[in-house]
């Protein structure tokens, strides 16, 4: 049995924990650069604010409704995510952290009422972290997703918990679920399935698995079987090693000069290096890409990227910054207003293993370099603190994002720790 624990309106709920006055008020959280709506409180959903739409297009329609707007604060959400997942380990040692706000638990070993267990989970997470969650319990991951959806809608009648085994009319529940609302099926596949006469989760659950495989490959067949109660997607207890690491950002303002882009790309490469070392990996290929705005109809559209392959894999931010700069000079075209750039690390290998080379011209990362990286990472460890950086990162910081409504980090920043008066 799987339990899917999903935080309700996660980013909005995080913002509310230290500002209880926001309880009951509509909250939206915007994407990086204060662009699109990426999270909404229940009150904001009730106002009809859509997900994923640019805020500047949405805002006029809800002016005067008292909507509280936040820039996204990933240091804060990451900390709350860590606390929620830590709390969940109380209830099962076998868990898969599926995303920043979702976790699958193996509750197969639980003796006793699973609905009561779900309620204990929701109660404890709320009390220990301040975050409200919903719990769906079922014999497959896909059905746990369905059950979680019912729990969120309060259709199970058990508060924020739905145990699939106790749903009074499971066939009717599946028949009421549109095919594109199933986990793993989005607009494209939804359209194709509808054309083939499959419009609901019930129809998919009852379809012939071999027919599903011919139509949509092994992925679709698994979804069908999972909906029918046959578990095909196991719990991933050990997170698999990353295959690529990306750092990319839209700029706070359009940039035209090579110098401004150099500053941005250096900062992205250095940030990617930090992530690389945290994962104990090395990279052998570095891609850098730039693009102009896809929305500026009056301007020429330009998007380009280039990949540089190293002779030996590296963990050295200096090498990564250097590579990214070299790539940038190859794809930079003057006279354009760039909107976004990014650095992608690929061909990742574990830091401990070294493939020898017979005719090597480059040297591997030296012990001195690695000590330097460790030292720099330690100095910069505090979130959003940058004590030491590459000079290239300082040639320009004009790329930095708009974040006009970012909250402070009460749980992780000494300067903003809440004070309790007795």
Partner DNA sequence: TCTGGGGTCCTAGGACCC
Site string for DNA, 216-245 (x = CB under 7 A): -xxx--------------------x-xxxx
Is 249 a residue that touches DNA (CB under 7 A)? yes
| 298 binds DNA per the rule CB under 7 A | no
Site string for DNA, 398-417 (x = CB under 7 A): ---x----------------
Q: Which 253-272 residues touch DNA, going by CB under 7 A?
A: 254
CB 136 within 8 A of CB 164: yes
386 sits near DNA (criterion: CB under 7 A): no
In the complex, the smallest distance separating the C-beta of residue 63 from DNA, rounded to whole angstroms, is 12
* Nearer to DNA among residue 52 and residue 418 (C-beta): 52
Q: Of the ranges 52-60, 120-128, 198-206, 256-264, which one interacts with DNA (CB under 7 A)?
A: 52-60
Residue nearer to DNA on the CB measure, 23 or 299: 299
Give the nearest distance from C-beta 295 to DNA in angstroms: 4
Select from 21, 127, 295, 367 the one that contacts DNA (CB under 7 A). Answer: 295
Name the residue nearer to DNA (CB basis): 257 or 293: 293
Among 70, 104, 189, 338, binds DNA (CB under 7 A): 189
Q: Of 33-41, 357-365, 369-377, 389-397, which part binds DNA (CB under 7 A)? A: 33-41
CB of 265 to DNA, least distance (A): 12
Among the candidate windows 42-50, 100-108, 194-202, 257-265, which touches DNA by CB under 7 A? 100-108
CB of 174 to DNA, least distance (A): 16
56 binding DNA? (CB under 7 A): yes
Interface contacts to DNA, rule CB under 7 A: 31-33, 35-36, 38, 52, 54, 56, 98-102, 145, 182-190, 217-219, 240, 242-250, 254, 275, 293, 295-296, 339-340, 342, 401
């Amino acid at each position: 049995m799987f339990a899917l624990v999903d935080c309700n309106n996660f980013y909005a709920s995080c913002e509310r924990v230290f500002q209880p006055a926001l309880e009951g008020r509509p909250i939206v959280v915007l994407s990086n650069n204060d662009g699109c709506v990426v999270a909404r409180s229940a009150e904001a959903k009730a106002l009809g604010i859509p997900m994923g739409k640019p805020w500047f297009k949405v805002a006029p329609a809800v002016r005067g409704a008292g909507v509280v707007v936040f820039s996204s604060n990933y240091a804060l959400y990451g900390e709350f995510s860590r606390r929620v997942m830590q709390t969940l380990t109380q209830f099962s040692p076998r868990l898969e952290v599926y995303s920043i706000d979702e976790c699958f638990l193996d509750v197969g070993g639980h003796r006793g009422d699973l609905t009561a267990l779900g309620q204990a989970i929701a109660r404890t997470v709320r009390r220990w972290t301040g975050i409200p969650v919903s719990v769906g319990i079922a014999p497959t991951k896909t059905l746990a997703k369905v059950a979680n959806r019912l729990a969120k809608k309060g259709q199970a009648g058990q508060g924020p918990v739905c145990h699939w085994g106790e749903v009074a009319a499971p066939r009717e529940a599946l028949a009421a679920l549109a095919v594109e609302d199933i986990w793993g099926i989005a607009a494209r596949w939804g359209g194709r399935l509808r054309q083939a006469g499959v419009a609901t989760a019930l129809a998919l659950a009852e379809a012939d698995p071999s027919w599903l495989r011919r139509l949509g490959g092994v992925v679709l067949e698994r979804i069908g079987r999972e909906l029918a109660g046959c578990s095909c997607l196991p719990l991933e207890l050990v997170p698999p090693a990353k295959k690529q690491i990306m750092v990319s950002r839209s700029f706070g303002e359009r940039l035209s000069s090579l110098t401004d882009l150099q500053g941005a790309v250096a900062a992205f490469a250095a940030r990617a290096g930090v992530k690389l070392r945290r994962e104990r990996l090395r990279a052998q290929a570095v891609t850098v890409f730039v693009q102009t705005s896809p929305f500026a109809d009056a301007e020429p559209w330009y998007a380009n990227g280039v990949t540089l392959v190293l002779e030996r894999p590296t963990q050295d931010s200096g090498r990564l910054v250097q590579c990214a700069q070299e790539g940038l000079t190859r794809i930079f075209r003057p006279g354009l207003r760039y909107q976004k750039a990014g650095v992608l690390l690929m061909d990742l290998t574990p830091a401990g293993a070294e493939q020898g080379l017979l005719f090597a011209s480059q040297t591997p990362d030296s012990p001195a370099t690695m000590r330097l990286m460790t030292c720099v990472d330690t100095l910069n460890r505090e979130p959003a603190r940058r004590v030491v950086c590459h000079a290239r990162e300082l040639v320009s910081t004009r790329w930095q994002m708009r974040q006009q409504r970012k909250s402070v980090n009460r749980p992780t920043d000494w300067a903003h720790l809440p004070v309790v008066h007795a």
